[in-house]
Amino acid sequence: MNNQEIIEKVKNMSIEEQREIPYKELVSMVDKMKADEIIELSNAIGYPVFTRMCMGDLRHKFVLLQDGAAIIIENEKGEILLQSRADRDKWGLPGGCQELGERFEDTIIREVKEETNLDILESDLELLAVVSGASRRNDYPNGDVVINNTALFYTNKYTGELKWDNESKNMKYFPKDKLPKNQNDPDLINAFIEKQNKK
């Protein structure tokens, strides 16, 4: 198989199959690829997962620094949308990791579509803050530790019917004064509330 055929084969795998590619097989694939092909393969698998796969035995030991975006989606009642993640018992904002070569605006538009089925336009995005530092540490059930640099956006304009994929157990809008206690992103939500209070 040539490199493009390998990439297409990986794209057609399930998430579970991608994550089970043996390390030696992955090394063999990547060793023959040029940078643009590696970027395409990484984006097919998902940058953080791909990065960890490339670490072999150290995959769950290495603390990963990653960039991403999250969003405050506010409905007509002034409530904000939160998702209950499938991998932990916490409520958080829609969002996710940046892919290689992707702008933050593209990241949040893609993640919102994937996670909520809602469509948002770049022209309706407001950049609220870039949140980084110790408050952005996430410890995952599988042992992964990640520190995120997060571009936080806001919108109250969106279309589509709210649906969620297997990354979420539930999604619902919460009044700002009745947010759940078990939050995944309290620092991001606080950044939004602080900005609102200054208006």
Tell me: the pLDDT tens digits for 127-138? 999 999 988 898
Q: Does the pLDDT value for residue 175 go beyond 90?
A: yes
Q: How confident is the model at residue 138, as a pLDDT? A: 85
- Delimiting residues of CATH 3.90.79.10 domain(s) in the chain: 64-198
Q: Does the pLDDT value for residue 112 go beyond 80?
A: yes
Q: How confident is the model at residue 18, as a pLDDT? A: 95
- Who contacts 9 (Cβ-Cβ below 8 Å, separation ≥6)? 1
Residue 129's closest CA among 88, 169, 61, 71?
Answer: 71
**CATH architecture of the domain with range 64-198:** Alpha-Beta Complex (3.90)
Alpha-carbon distance of 81 to 61, in angstroms, equals 33
For residue 18 the two structure tokens come to: 């991608």
Cβ 125 vs Cβ 153: under 8 Å:
yes
Cβ 44 vs Cβ 10: under 8 Å:
yes
Percent of the chain surpassing pLDDT 70 = 99
User: How many CA atoms lie within 13 Å of 95's alpha carbon, on the beta-carbon side?
Assistant: 26
